[in-house]
């Protein structure tokens, strides 16, 4: 449908060519652009803080375990590798909750939004139980098949089992937080997440080194802390959602109405996001396996690089989620001009942040690495690899915002195909050749991530240009 309103007057510098660059930059300061940035920021900052809370939980584990023992950090990293594949895939499979909630809110359908949550919680429960059973049955077997030494596999076994037990509360929390994010009210999820971080850190400090006369549990203690913290955050968020005055208006205390087409679309959106997440996180877990082939020190150094990159990535990921909410609401309200405007705002903010992080990490890699570990040999390996990794911050930020934006517009297949191509068909083989065949070790792994990130960003930019040019 044709664009309407003041937003349609804003040039789209992603679709109108180099001749419009100056007017497009000027348009960033126009009234509709400022309104879009304000709306994006209002949703994005609590989402970003919440996403950082997810990473902070892993950061606390890595720092406490890493300062206790480099060997225990290797156990923790390898125990988390298969668990992360399953968990992040499950989170993607629940991606339809946020998009469908946003569309229902945009269309003014409160009962429809409530039905999305009810379906999402049931789906998350089933996924959580299935994930735990899968990891208990096959997690250690998976590690053994990767060629990692038997000592590392044995050390990772118990942490892996504890991480697997946290799948159900984690995925149900994702469904609940996606629901409130889709409404544009993410603060309760953020608060629940950070309260859970306090629980996690306290238990890490108690259980990992064995404080107050308790036995030192190392990576196993971090696993117990994770399970307790994630159970707590789910209980807090569900209590908030069902105690709200609008809970009855949304039909949360009634069975969801029969909407087979919407239920199917909710699953289809999740399948696309789940496929992307599976490929991407599976490929990055494969990097941990390649590092394990090289040695325990390389695994620990890669853990530092991944953890820092994950913290940086959480900001663009939060902006991507906020963009998906606003774009989804615009789709529900049948306002394509607003949809494009919100996408541009998210891309601009994500790019600006990524460039700042690129500079900061590139200049101060030693100081950042020393925050994680004390071992000088490990610092000597991890710091230069961390500086090199900053090269993929910008393309990684752009590709995640574009992927979320395309899914919110109903374009589910293209992001999945892009991620399969970039991370499974390019990054993994390239990492094997560079790290193992050419003996570049950790630096070969990082270069493969850089190449895949630029490829993914380029393909998704091309897809966005194509889709938006057809919808004008």
Token pair of 129 as six digits: 């139980």
Q: Is residue 412 part of a domain?
A: yes
Alpha carbons 302 and 363: distance in angstroms, whole number: 19
pLDDT, residue 10, reads 44
- Rounded-to-integer distance, Cα 54 and Cα 193, Å: 7
Nearest Cα residue to 398 out of 337, 467, 323: 323
DSSP states of 116-175: HHHHHHHHHHHHHHHHHHHHHHHHHHHHHHTT--HHHHHHHHHHHHHHHHTHHHHHHHHH
- 5 domain-assigned: no
Write down the pLDDT at residue 8.
41
- Cα angle for residues 382, 57, 407 (degrees, 5° grid): 90
The two structure tokens encoding residue 235: 């209980």
> What are the backbone angles phi and psi of residue 216, rounded to the nearest 5°?
-75, 120
3-class DSSP state for residue 439? coil
How many domains in the chain?
Answer: 1
Whether 145 and 286 have beta carbons less than 8 Å apart is answered as: no
Instruction: Report the alpha-carbon distance of residue 410 to residue 339 in Å, rounded.
Output: 12
From the list 128, 459, 88, the residue with the least C-alpha distance to 284 is: 88
Supply the pLDDT for residue 340.
85
pTM: 0.75
Tokens of 172: 């149900």
Residues in contact with 435: Cβ distance below 8 Å, sequence separation at least 6, in sequence order: 290, 291, 294, 441, 442, 444, 445, 448
User: Cα 9 vs. chain centroid, distance in angstroms?
Assistant: 34
Calculate the alpha carbon distances from 464 to 11, 140, 223, 229, 297 in Å: 15, 41, 41, 39, 41
The DSSP output letter for 256 is P
Closest CA to 66 of 262, 415, 302, 392: 302
What are 371's two structure tokens?
């925050």
Q: Give domain status of residue 263, yes or no.
A: yes
Closest CA to 135 of 112, 109, 162: 162
Residue 3 maps to a domain? no
Residue 225 lies in a domain: yes
- Asked whether residue 386 is assigned to any structural domain, the reply reads yes
> Which stretches within 1-69 are classed as H helix?
21-27, 31-68
Asked, for residue 76, whether it belongs to a domain, the answer is yes
Domain region containing 299: 10-470
Residue 72 pLDDT: 83
Residue 258 placed within a domain:
yes
Round to whole Å and give the CA distance between 256 and 364.
52
Give the pLDDT score at 310: 82
pLDDT at 225: 92
Tokens of 306: 């991944």
* Token pair belonging to 460: 């998704």
Joined tokens for residue 96: 């339809």
Q: What contacts 5, CB < 8 A, 6 or more positions away?
A: 335, 337, 338
Residue 4 vs residues 1, 7, 335, 338, 472: alpha-carbon distances, Å: 9, 7, 8, 9, 11
Per-residue pLDDT of the chain (472 residues; tens, 9 = 90+): 334 444 444 445 444 555 554 554 555 556 767 777 777 778 878 887 887 787 788 878 888 888 787 778 878 878 887 887 788 888 889 988 988 998 888 888 888 889 999 999 999 999 999 999 999 888 877 777 766 677 788 778 788 889 899 999 999 999 999 999 988 888 999 999 999 999 999 999 999 887 887 888 888 888 899 999 999 999 999 999 999 988 888 888 887 667 788 888 888 888 888 888 888 877 877 787 778 777 777 888 888 888 888 888 888 888 898 888 888 888 887 777 888 888 888 898 999 999 999 999 988 988 888 888 777 888 888 899 999 999 999 999 999 999 999 988 888 889 999 999 999 899 999 998 998 788 888 899 999 999 999 999 999 999 998 988 776 5
């Amino acid at each position: 449908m044709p664009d309407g309103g003041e937003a349609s007057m804003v040039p789209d510098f992603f679709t109108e060519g180099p001749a419009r660059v100056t007017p497009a930059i000027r348009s960033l300061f126009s009234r509709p652009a400022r309104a879009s940035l304000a709306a994006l920021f209002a949703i994005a900052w609590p989402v970003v803080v919440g996403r950082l809370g997810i990473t902070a939980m892993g950061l606390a584990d890595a720092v406490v375990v890493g300062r206790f023992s480099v060997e225990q950090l290797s156990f923790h990293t390898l125990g988390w590798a298969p668990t992360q594949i399953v968990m992040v895939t499950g989170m993607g499979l629940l991606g339809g909750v946020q998009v469908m909630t946003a569309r229902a809110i945009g269309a003014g359908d409160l009962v429809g939004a409530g039905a999305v949550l009810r379906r999402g919680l049931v789906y998350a429960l089933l996924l959580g139980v299935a994930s735990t059973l899968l990891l208990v049955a096959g997690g250690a077997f998976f590690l053994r098949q990767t060629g990692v030494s038997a000592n590392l596999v044995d050390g990772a076994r118990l942490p892996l089992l504890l991480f697997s037990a946290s799948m159900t509360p984690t995925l149900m929390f994702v469904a609940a937080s996606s629901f409130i994010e889709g409404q544009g009210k993410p603060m309760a999820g953020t608060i629940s997440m950070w309260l859970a971080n306090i629980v996690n850190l306290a238990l890490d400090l108690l259980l990992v080194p064995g404080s107050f006369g308790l036995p030192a549990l190392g990576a196993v203690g971090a696993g117990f802390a994770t399970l307790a913290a994630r159970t707590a955050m789910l209980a807090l968020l569900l209590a908030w959602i069902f105690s709200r005055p609008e809970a009855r208006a949304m039909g949360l205390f009634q069975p969801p109405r029969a909407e087979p087409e919407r239920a199917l679309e909710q699953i289809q959106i999740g399948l696309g996001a789940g496929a992307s997440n599976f490929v991407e996180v599976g490929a990055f877990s494969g990097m941990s396996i390649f590092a394990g082939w090289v040695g325990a020190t390389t695994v620990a150094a890669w853990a530092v690089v991944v953890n820092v990159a994950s913290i940086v990535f959480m900001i663009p990921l939060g902006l991507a989620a906020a963009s998906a909410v606003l774009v989804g609401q615009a789709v529900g309200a049948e306002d394509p001009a607003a949809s494009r405007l919100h996408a541009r705002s998210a891309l601009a903010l994500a790019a600006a942040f990524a460039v700042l992080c690129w500079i900061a990490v590139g200049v101060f890699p030693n100081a950042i690495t020393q925050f994680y570990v004390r071992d000088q040999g490990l610092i000597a390996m991890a710091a230069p690899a961390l500086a090199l990794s900053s090269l993929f911050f910008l393309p990684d930020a752009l590709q995640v915002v574009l992927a979320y934006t395309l899914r919110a517009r109903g374009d589910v297949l293209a992001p999945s195909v892009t991620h399969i191509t970039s991370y499974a068909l390019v990054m993994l083989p390239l990492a094997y050749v560079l790290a193992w065949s050419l003996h570049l070790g950790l630096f070969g792994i990082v270069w493969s991530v850089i190449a895949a990130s630029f490829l993914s960003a380029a393909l998704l930019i091309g897809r966005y240009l194509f889709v938006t040019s057809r919808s004008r």
